[in-house]
Every structure is written in C-alpha cells, then in structure tokens.
Structure 1
Amino acid sequence: MTIPVASLVPGRVRGGIETDPAGPVAGRILLVPQERLVEVRQRPAGLLIVEPAPFSHPVIRWCSQEIPVGMLTAGQADQLRQGESVVLDTACGRLERVAPDQTVAPWSAPPAPVTGRPVTMRDGVRVELRASIGDVRGARRACQAGASAIGLVRTEYLQPPDAAQPSAGFYADEFARLLAAADSLPVHFRLLDLAPDKWPAWLPHSPGATDRGSRFGSRW
C-alpha cells in the first residue's frame, strides 16, 4: 500500500514505524502529532508529522536535522501501525509498506546551486535561496546548499550547554562562529524572540508573556 506524503525535507529511508516520541526512535520512522515533538529525545531516521503547521517553530527546528520529514493527515496516520516496516520517500512524496528485509535504493540529493548565485527556473524567473538557521551547523548547510544569504539567525536557539543564562561574551563568541561558518554570505541576526514553544530554560516562564526582542533586552 502506498500513502501520499507532503514533503518538507526530501530523502528516502526504510524503518519501522514508532509512535512513541519519548521511546527508542533512533533508526526508526517517528509518526507523531506536532504538539508531541517536544517529547522527542533522540533523532529518528525519518519523521512523519501529523497535520502540522509547516512554518511553526517546532517544525522548522526538525527540518534542520538532516533527516527526511513529511506531513500526513490524521486519516492517513490512522492507517499505520506501530512497528510495521515502511519506506519513507519524501523526495517522491510517498510512504510504502515493505518487507522488513527489503533493500532500498539510496537517494542522492540533486546538485546544489553555486553558493551566492540565484537559480534560474524553467520559466526564466531567478530565485535566491535564503536560509533560516539556529546554529553553526545551519550556517554550514546553508553554504553547502547554495544559499545567497542567511536571512535569519534565530538567536533564541543559541544557548550554553549547561542551560545557564547567556552572557554578552557567549553571544559574541557564537556570532563570530556563525559568521565564520557562513563564509562571505550576508547574515542577519534576529534578537531573542520568545514564544511558549521555545521558551529558554534559564528564564522563568510567565504564562501569556509576549516580551520579544529589544523589549526583552531593555528589561533584562
């Protein structure tokens, strides 16, 4: 049986369906509603998100994890069972049930455009790729993918390993590392942007808080 999948990140991978985001998802294809993405502690081989908001903060973060990511409706998700073996092919937009020992042809990404240069579409329209990133790895991937600029660095995701409150020195070091990784690309930094689904561990949570960017900086 083949189920159509809306692709967020192209790729191809085989694995068993895992429906518990807090379970052993490594090497498996995680099937999960968006609101439970916060429970995931391991990186799965592939990710199927049930009826997500594609440009929401949790989904954007998972699209940077270098795994195939697709979207399903709730009705499509109901057709899948825990543990069954499938091939997730987000390059072609489909999910297929297969035998556990069936081999899968490897998938190769198409050649990336030359970094810093626009891509010309078949109809002659020139398109520039601009990246939204949250760390140094994202800056490197933007260069590898042929981005012409890093349109947004989400600085709220830059946090010390010990979850302590970031200092000015920490941000200076992280910004320098990002700029070095971005090479010659233009880089735009956004000030700390707070939201309930990406609240930093070092900041006491205030339900309904809406402080953002420079407003936050002026108070702290």
Structure 2
Amino acid sequence: MTINNTHIVGSPYFPGVVVGKLRKGMHDEVNGYIVMCSQDELSSFAALPEGFIVVDAAPFSHRMIGLLGLGVPTVLISEHQAAMIEEGMELLLDGTSGRITGDLDIASPVTGIKSDLKAGQAVLMADGEPVTLSVSVRQPSAARKAKALGAKDIGLVRSEFLLPADGRVPDTDFYRDTFREICEAASPLTVTFRLLDVAADKIPTWLPASDSQDQSSG
C-alpha cells in the first residue's frame, strides 16, 4: 500500500476545502479533480474542477483576478513545490490556509453563508468598523451572486472581457444588451463600466494583432 505523505503549504488564494485526485493541466474532463496548472492555462473553461493549484502565478495579474470570480478553492505554489505532487494523487486542498496534503481526514467543516447579509450595506468587523465590499464582475450571474452576498456595489465591469459567445466582433447592440443584463442582475446596486482597456495579458480575440500591439504599448 502506497502512503501519500504530501504536505505543502502554499499561498491561499480563494477559500474553501475540497478533496480530489490531482490532474496536471486543463483537460476537458476536470469535474471532480483538483487541477494543477500555470496561469497561462487559465483562459477559458468548458467545466470547472473542484480546486485549482496554480504554479508560479502573479496574484494580481488579470487572469488570476478572473480566477477569483469563479469561486473555486485555490492555492498558489512554487515550481519547486509542484515537483512534489504527482498526477492522480488524492489530495485535500484548503484555499483558506494554503494547505495541500495527502491526509484526507483533517478536512475542516464547511460553514454556510450568513443569511443576514444585505446587499448595498457595509459589513461590520468585530470592533464595529464597516467594510465596504465593491465587486468586479464579467457577467450577469456574477453580478447577481455579488448582490446576494452583500456587495455594496459593482465597482467595475471591464468591458474588454465582455465577448460574444460566437466569437464575432462586439457591436453597439451587443454592448447595449450586455450592459442592460448586468445592470438588471445587479439592481438596485450601482454599476460602473470601464470602456475598452487593452493590455498585453488581456487582448480580446477579435482585435487584430497589429492594433492590439499599438494599444497595449500606448
């Protein structure tokens, strides 16, 4: 019998405790797995895994910020730590503490979401200090969830991430409809939209290469 003595402490990124077999890289079948990958592989998802282990990631890069919005427990580790984990290992991942372990019997109890959260109101710390939660979203479902979890407002919608499902170039009608859907999902919260902002790590697929180089360097 093989004993899995894996015990790694990485950087916590998104909270939650999950158990699953490790799969290296993003594949079509990720349901039920904990996926280990680089941030460059975090572009699009046909399905979501139980948890993410991201190797040598830049926590505040646009792709990693997008990962936060998926709500999947995530831990960041180094390339050296990644070498200690093998395909198919049964692991427990704790996105709150940053722990990755082969000891599956130490899972923390899952606590439910507080039912007294009210959208548009500040959350109070133990000492009474208010915490204002503004949220960045990319789709109506995320705006709806943010409202349900007590967000004060939708602080930013990055329009460069709003893309037609069929891959066509977005036009006025697309943006009008999408903006309306997000505003309706977030109502009565205030929504702030940012117009197209192109950078090296967030170039829309519909933008010609020559134009994207000019805009991302300007």
Question: Which residue identity is paired with 1:89?
Answer: D
Which residue is 2:153 aligned to? 149
Post-superposition Cα deviations, 1:123-180, rounded to whole Å, max 9, x if no partner, equal: 4432100001111111012112211011100111111111101111111111111000
Runs of 4+ in 1 over 4 A off after TM superposition: 102-106
User: For residues 143 and 202 of structure 1, do their structure 2 counterparts lie closer, same or farther at Cα, with a shift above 3 Å needed?
Assistant: same
Within 2, Cα distance between the matches of 1:201 and 1:210?
Answer: 15
Within 2, Cα distance between the matches of 1:80 and 1:128?
Answer: 39
Which residue is 1:218 aligned to? none
Any conservation in 2 of the 1:34–1:50 contact (CA below 8 Å)?
yes
Which residue is 2:57 aligned to? 52
Q: Does 1:7 align with 2:3?
A: no
Which residue is 1:158 aligned to? 162
- 1:25 Cα deviation after fit: 2.5
Structure 2 residue corresponding to 1:136, chosen from 110, 125, 140: 140
Report the aligned-residue RMSD.
Answer: 2.5
Identify unmatched segments of 5+ residues in structure 2: 1-5
Which residue is 1:198 aligned to? 202
Which residue is 1:25 aligned to? 30
- 1:211 Cα deviation after fit: 2.1
User: For residues 2 and 187 of structure 1, do their structure 2 counterparts lie closer, same or farther at Cα, with a shift above 3 Å needed?
Assistant: same
> Which piece of structure 1 moves more, 18-27 or 121-130?
18-27
Q: Does 1:108 align with 2:111?
A: yes
* TM-score of the two chains, using structure 1 as the length reference: 0.85
Structure 1 residue corresponding to 2:82, chosen from 77, 86, 89: 77
Within 2, Cα distance between the matches of 1:145 and 1:130?
Answer: 11
Any conservation in 2 of the 1:47–1:69 contact (CA below 8 Å)?
yes
What secondary structure does 2:215 align onto?
A: coil
Question: Which residue identity is paired with 2:135?
Answer: A
Structure 1 residue corresponding to 2:192, chosen from 180, 188, 195: 188
Within 1, Cα distance between the matches of 2:37 and 2:203?
Answer: 21
- 1:59 Cα deviation after fit: 0.7
- 1:93 Cα deviation after fit: 3.0
Which residue is 1:171 aligned to? 175
Which residue is 2:68 aligned to? 63
Q: How many residues align?
A: 211
Structure 2 residue corresponding to 1:37, chosen from 39, 42, 46: 42
- 1:209 Cα deviation after fit: 1.9
Any conservation in 1 of the 2:157–2:192 contact (CA below 8 Å)?
yes
User: For residues 47 and 176 of structure 1, do their structure 2 counterparts lie closer, same or farther at Cα, with a shift above 3 Å needed?
Assistant: same
- 1:122 Cα deviation after fit: 2.9
Which residue is 1:119 aligned to? 123
* TM-score of the two chains, using structure 2 as the length reference: 0.86
Percent identity at matched positions?
34
Question: Which residue identity is paired with 1:8?
Answer: Y
Within 2, Cα distance between the matches of 1:80 and 1:23?
Answer: 21
Within 2, Cα distance between the matches of 1:116 and 1:23?
Answer: 38
Within 2, Cα distance between the matches of 1:124 and 1:103?
Answer: 33
Identify unmatched segments of 5+ residues in structure 1: 216-220
Within 1, Cα distance between the matches of 2:159 and 2:111?
Answer: 31
